[in-house]
Chains A and B, each alone.
Chain A
Amino acid sequence: MYRLSKLRFGFPIILFLMLLLDGSISQNFSTHMFHYPTAMVSHLVVLWLVCGVLFEADANDFDMPIGRWAVVAGIVFDVYYTGIFGIYIFIFPLVVYITRLLVSYIRPNFLSGLLIYFIDITVLEALGYLAGRAVHLSSMSGSDFMVNTLGPTLAFNLAMFVLLFFPIRWVYNWLK
């Protein structure tokens, strides 16, 4: 039961920890991650959300309000990190929705999770880029975006998925 599990508090606490870790990682490894012209963007918060959906489907005995927490994470991300309100508040829940949709077709395990996460990061970065173009935050061309941002970001985040999938599963099982 979700109401009685430790996840009720554990999920949002780790969600915010991941959100703040994203910024810390970007700051501490900025010489490697933002080595011009390429940029790797860390999305640990999305990893936590997507893993939540995957393990929720795995357990299939309770529903977590992951979508609602995604909105909250999106608000904090927009206000604290970018200062431009209205981008990630919609993209984070959309990613959760897409993951739920895919999980209903594919039985989630490590490999299919990797594929789903690939799609999620692509959608997230592409929509973020389009929004950035729309409000003139970025002037990067589409091909530059694919080569310099999307490619390295996917590589970094998929590596993170591979490294953190089993630790996160352990954390979920412990919190459950």
Chain B
Amino acid sequence: MQKFSFNRRLVIIIVCLIVSFALMTVSVAIRNKKSTPPLIQQFGNDIVGLTDRVVAIPANGLSGSVGAVSELLNTYQENQQLKQQVSELAQTKVRDQTLAKENKQLKQEIKLNESLTDYAAISAAVITRTPSSWQNQVIINKGSSAGVVKNMPVMSGSGLVGRVAEVNKTNSKVELITDNNDSANRFAVQITTKSGKTVNGVLSGYNNTTGQITMNNITTKAKIGKGDKVVTSGLGGVTPKGLYVGKVAKTSGDDYGLSTKLNINPATDLSDLNIVTVAVTKQ
């Protein structure tokens, strides 16, 4: 009798393991291939997402007011610095508007309706974050009903923070570029060097210890300097052109000495996200 119950336990453990692996493999495959999760999963996610708002809104509000008090303490210093920047910004903004207008007219002239730089923005609030140490993922309160589609890039503040990994009706999951899994953070980017040359490449990962984005396999002869700006190149279709990623912090030879490796300082603080913007390209 003892032996029987031991065997039965072993069988249960093995069956659980097999089922677990099967489920994991299937869900990873669905996540990588399909544009939306199965209907029942979407439905569940929407229900939980709605209930989560009841918990998240007071919690986020509380932390927002605590944050406001602590920010009040260094307001004066910040104000001084910002005043300087604002006067410069006004100039840039006016010029930007003029250029945008001119650009639009020129596009009409040559009958070019949509180019790679055109995108619409959907702003969304972050409801919650996955409590996990390797899945750097946040859940935002806009889904397919607001026009969010899988793989769209997501920005916060001034820079790119991630891409949409899963879309439900009323909420969606955003995988941050700090996530190092196999299917994450492969954005096509380009760098314009000081001498005016354009270097194309693909982001390849995130370095946990330095907090920098890495970019491998650059074989160009153009000299990339510290502080050069990295923006998305729009190649590959889903991402519009010209989303700011960050600044080059360090260039070095890669492990085999054949190509160049870049470390990029991300433009925004990736661990503190409250409001994000989903960039929608017209496809």
Query: Could you tell me which A residues sit within 8 Å of B by CB distance?
Result: 16-17, 20-31, 34-37, 39, 41-43, 76, 79-87, 89-90, 128-129, 131-132, 134-140, 148-149, 153
Tell me how far the C-beta of A69 lies from the nearest C-beta in chain B, rounded to whole angstroms: 15
What residues of B have a CB within 8 angstroms of the CB of A17 in the complex?
A: 55
B45–A79 CB distance below 8 A: yes
- Kindly state the separation between the CA atoms of A46 and B204 in the bound complex, as whole angstroms: 35
**In the complex, residue of chain B having the shortest beta-carbon distance to the beta carbon of A93:** B16
Most buried by A among B19, B209, B272: B272
B20–A90 CB distance below 8 A: yes
Is B109 on the interface with A (CB-CB < 8 A)? no
What residues of B have a CB within 8 angstroms of the CB of A34 in the complex?
A: 133, 136, 271
A82–B269 CB distance below 8 A: no
B130–A16 CB distance below 8 A: no
**In the complex, residue of chain A having the shortest beta-carbon distance to the beta carbon of B171:** A80
Query: Could you tell me which B residues sit within 8 Å of A by CB distance?
Result: 16, 19-28, 31, 37, 41, 44-45, 48-49, 51-52, 55-56, 59-60, 62-63, 126-139, 165-166, 173, 178, 180-182, 208-209, 211, 269, 271-273
Q: A23-B139, A36-B208, A80-B44 are in contact. Are A86 and B19 (CB under 8 A)?
A: yes
Taking a contact as CB atoms closer than 8 A, the residue among A81, A129, A131, A149 that contacts B24 in the complex is: A131
Tell me how far the C-beta of B20 lies from the nearest C-beta in chain A, rounded to whole angstroms: 5
8 A-B contact pairs sorted by A residue (CB < 8 Å): A23-B52, A26-B128, A36-B209, A39-B134, A80-B52, A86-B19, A89-B23, A135-B28
Q: A79-B48, A83-B173, A131-B24 are in contact. Are A24 and B271 (CB under 8 A)?
A: no
Q: A24-B55, A30-B271, A37-B208 are in contact. Are A86 and B23 (CB under 8 A)?
A: yes
What residues of A have a CB within 8 angstroms of the CB of B178 in the complex?
A: 36
A26–B209 CB distance below 8 A: no
A-side interface mostly: helix
- Kindly state the separation between the CA atoms of A87 and B189 in the bound complex, as whole angstroms: 34
What residues of B have a CB within 8 angstroms of the CB of A137 in the complex?
A: 28, 134-135, 181
- Kindly state the separation between the CA atoms of A27 and B140 in the bound complex, as whole angstroms: 11
What residues of A have a CB within 8 angstroms of the CB of B126 in the complex?
A: 27
Most buried by B among A27, A31, A79: A27
What residues of B have a CB within 8 angstroms of the CB of A149 in the complex?
A: 133-134
What residues of B have a CB within 8 angstroms of the CB of A31 in the complex?
A: 269, 271-272
B41–A79 CB distance below 8 A: yes
Taking a contact as CB atoms closer than 8 A, the residue among A24, A132, A140 that contacts B128 in the complex is: A24
A87–B131 CB distance below 8 A: no
- Kindly state the separation between the CA atoms of A24 and B27 in the bound complex, as whole angstroms: 25
What residues of A have a CB within 8 angstroms of the CB of B209 in the complex?
A: 36-37
**In the complex, residue of chain A having the shortest beta-carbon distance to the beta carbon of B206:** A36
A23–B130 CB distance below 8 A: yes
What residues of A have a CB within 8 angstroms of the CB of B25 in the complex?
A: 135
Taking a contact as CB atoms closer than 8 A, the residue among A39, A83, A138 that contacts B166 in the complex is: A83
- Kindly state the separation between the CA atoms of A128 and B24 in the bound complex, as whole angstroms: 12
Taking a contact as CB atoms closer than 8 A, the residue among B20, B23, B181, B211 that contacts A136 in the complex is: B181
- Kindly state the separation between the CA atoms of A149 and B208 in the bound complex, as whole angstroms: 12
- Kindly state the separation between the CA atoms of A24 and B21 in the bound complex, as whole angstroms: 29
What residues of A have a CB within 8 angstroms of the CB of B62 in the complex?
A: 28
What residues of B have a CB within 8 angstroms of the CB of A20 in the complex?
A: 48, 51-52, 55-56, 128
A24–B130 CB distance below 8 A: no
What residues of B have a CB within 8 angstroms of the CB of A41 in the complex?
A: 131-133
- Kindly state the separation between the CA atoms of A108 and B271 in the bound complex, as whole angstroms: 38
A85–B23 CB distance below 8 A: yes
- Kindly state the separation between the CA atoms of A148 and B23 in the bound complex, as whole angstroms: 28
Given contact pairs A23-B127, A132-B135, A135-B24, enumerate 17 new A-B contacts (beta carbons under 8 Å). Answer: A27-B127, A27-B128, A27-B138, A30-B271, A30-B272, A35-B271, A39-B133, A43-B131, A79-B41, A83-B173, A85-B23, A86-B27, A136-B182, A138-B133, A138-B181, A139-B180, A148-B208
Taking a contact as CB atoms closer than 8 A, the residue among B20, B60, B139, B211 that contacts A36 in the complex is: B211
**In the complex, residue of chain A having the shortest beta-carbon distance to the beta carbon of B134:** A138
- Kindly state the separation between the CA atoms of A137 and B184 in the bound complex, as whole angstroms: 9
